[in-house]
Amino acid sequence: MIAPPRRMISKQLGELLVERRIIKESELQKALQIQKEKGGLLGNILVLLGFATEEQIAQALTTQYGFPYLPLKNYEIDPVVVKLIPRNVSEQYCLIAIDKIGNSLTVAMSNPLNLHAIEDIELITNCKVQTFVSTQTDIKETIKRYYGSNA
């Protein structure tokens, strides 16, 4: 039996947000102009401009790429698992280790498309990384909670 093709949505994040009526086309154009001038991730720019929330961006990434969304607020993580990734690396890539089974490490990250970050984590931990999407705020608060608040 042939496996069904995996559903992959090829739409860009911006057009997905417009289609879902989260942002207007004019807001997308403004954000794209800022991105062109200053760089940065479109989702972050939309949040900074107040056009979308972090949760809306995370949910859109989930829809667009099939990454599962995981709010971290009330999620209990084994501190031993968290410490598999050094704090500076967690902060640099805005991610946090949340579970480990065998040599499979589950990581919550705000930008699951950052393949460089995933490769680094695999090298550091010698594990295969599985990714979940979380908001930047959620991850930063969780980093503080598990590594301590002093930077």
Dihedral, CA of residue 138, residue 111, residue 65 and residue 79, to nearest 10: -50
Average pLDDT of the chain, as a whole number: 88
Separation CA 64–CA 47 (nearest Å): 18
Give Cα separations from 9 to 2, 148, 150 (angstroms): 21, 38, 40
**pLDDT of 151:** 47
- Write down the pTM of the prediction: 0.78
- Tell me: pLDDT of 82 over 60: yes
Structure tokens at 112: 């699951």
Among 106-110, 112-116, 136-140, 142-146, the minimum mean pLDDT is found in: 112-116
What residue ranges define each of the domains in the chain, with the CATH number in brackets?
A: 13-53 (no CATH), 79-147 (3.30.300.160)
**pLDDT of 6:** 39
**pLDDT of 15:** 87
pLDDT (tens digit per residue) in 23-74:
999 999 999 999 899 888 888 899 999 999 998 998 888 888 888 999 898 8
Q: Which residue has the higher pLDDT, 79 or 8?
A: 79
Binned at pLDDT 50, 70 and 90, residue 150 comes out as low
Going 143 to 91 to 108 to 19, the CA torsion angle's sign is positive
- Tell me: pLDDT of 4 over 50: no
Going 46 to 54 to 68 to 106, the CA torsion angle's sign is positive
